[in-house]
Amino acid sequence: MDKHSLSPREAIEKMRAGMRLLDIRGEIERLSGMAEGATALVMDDLLAAPDTHLGDAPVMLICQKGIRSANAAAQLRDAGFNALSVDGGTEAWIAANLPITSSALDDSTGDPHFAERYSRQMRLPQVGMEGQRKLSNARVVIVGAGGLGAPSSYYLAAAGVGHLSLVDHDVVDRSNLQRQIVHVDADVGRKKVASARERLMALNPQISIETHDLALDMGNAATLIAGADVVLDGSDNFAVRHALNAASVAARIPLVYGAVDRFTGHASVFNAGARGAVPCYRCLFPDAPEGVLNCAEAGVLGVVPGIVGMIQATEVLKLLLGIGDTLSGTLLQFNALDMQFKRSKIVPDPACRACGKA
Question: SS3 of 292, please?
Answer: coil
Residue 33 predicted with pLDDT over 60: yes
**DSSP letters of 164-186?**
EEEE---B--GGGTTT-TT--GG
Domain boundary residue, one of 87, 102, 117: 102
- What pLDDT is stored for residue 211 in this prediction? 98
Rounded distance, CA 267 to CA 311, Å?
7
> Residue 104: which residues within 8 A CB-CB, separation 6 or more?
none
Domain boundary residue, one of 56, 87, 102: 102
Give, for 59, the enclosing helix (H) or strand (E): strand 59-62
Residue 44 predicted with pLDDT over 50: yes
Mean pLDDT for the stretch of residues 97-121: 76
- Taking the alpha carbons at both ends of the chain, their separation in whole angstroms is 76
Residue 163 predicted with pLDDT over 90: yes
Residue 324's closest CA among 118, 119, 117, 124? 124
pLDDT tens digits, residue range 201-254?
A: 999 999 999 999 999 999 999 999 999 999 999 999 999 999 999 999 999 999
8 Å CB contact between 192 and 145? yes
Rounded distance, CA 162 to CA 135, Å?
6
8 Å CB contact between 210 and 166? yes
- Phi, psi dihedral angles at 62 (to 5 degrees): -135, 135
Rounded distance, CA 219 to CA 318, Å?
30
**Average pLDDT, rounded, for the chain:** 93
Q: Cα angle vertex 31, ends 207, 310, to 5°? A: 45
Same domain membership, residue 306 and residue 238: yes
Same domain membership, residue 151 and residue 27: no
Question: SS3 of 128, please?
Answer: helix
Q: What type of residue sits at position 23?
A: D
83-86/59-62 β-pairing: parallel
Residue 89 predicted with pLDDT over 90: yes
8 Å CB contact between 148 and 261? no
Q: Is residue 117 assigned to a domain?
A: no
- Provide the b/e sequence for 61-87 (b: ≥16 CB within 10 Å): bbbbebebbbebbeebeeeebebbbbb
Same domain membership, residue 142 and residue 81: no
Residue 24: give its domain's CATH number: 3.40.250.10
> How would you class 178 by CB atoms within 10 Å of its CB: exposed for 0-12, middle for 13-18, buried for 19 or more?
middle
Q: Is residue 350 assigned to a domain?
A: no
Same domain membership, residue 164 and residue 70: no
Q: Is residue 118 assigned to a domain?
A: no
Mean pLDDT for the stretch of residues 90-110: 77
Residue 107 predicted with pLDDT over 60: no
Mean pLDDT for the stretch of residues 58-86: 96
Same domain membership, residue 35 and residue 150: no
8 Å CB contact between 268 and 143? no
Residue 61's closest CA among 79, 78, 75? 75
Q: Is residue 355 assigned to a domain?
A: no
What's 187's DSSP letter?
G
Share of the chain above pLDDT 70, in %: 96
Q: Is residue 74 assigned to a domain?
A: yes
> How would you class 52 by CB atoms within 10 Å of its CB: exposed for 0-12, middle for 13-18, buried for 19 or more?
exposed
Total structural domains within the chain: 2
8 Å CB contact between 28 and 123? yes
Question: SS3 of 107, please?
Answer: helix
Same domain membership, residue 250 and residue 334: yes
Q: Is residue 129 assigned to a domain?
A: no
Residue 110 predicted with pLDDT over 70: no
- What pLDDT is stored for residue 358 in this prediction? 55
Same domain membership, residue 71 and residue 12: yes
Residue 108 predicted with pLDDT over 60: no
* Selected catalytic residue, list 63, 283, 295, 355: 295
8 Å CB contact between 91 and 69? no
Residue 320: give its domain's CATH number: 3.40.50.720
Same domain membership, residue 143 and residue 98: no
Q: Is 295 a catalytic residue?
A: yes
> Residue 185: which residues within 8 A CB-CB, separation 6 or more?
174, 177
Residue 105 predicted with pLDDT over 50: no
Strands (DSSP E) contained in 243-348 are 255-261, 264-270, 330-335, 340-345
Q: Is residue 190 assigned to a domain?
A: yes
Same domain membership, residue 150 and residue 87: no
Residue 162's closest CA among 198, 136, 201? 136
Rounded distance, CA 316 to CA 310, Å?
10
Mean pLDDT for the stretch of residues 294-318: 92
Same domain membership, residue 164 and residue 66: no
Same domain membership, residue 315 and residue 237: yes
Q: Which domain holds residue 73?
A: 5-102
- What pLDDT is stored for residue 83 in this prediction? 96
Question: SS3 of 50, please?
Answer: helix
Rounded distance, CA 183 to CA 186, Å?
8
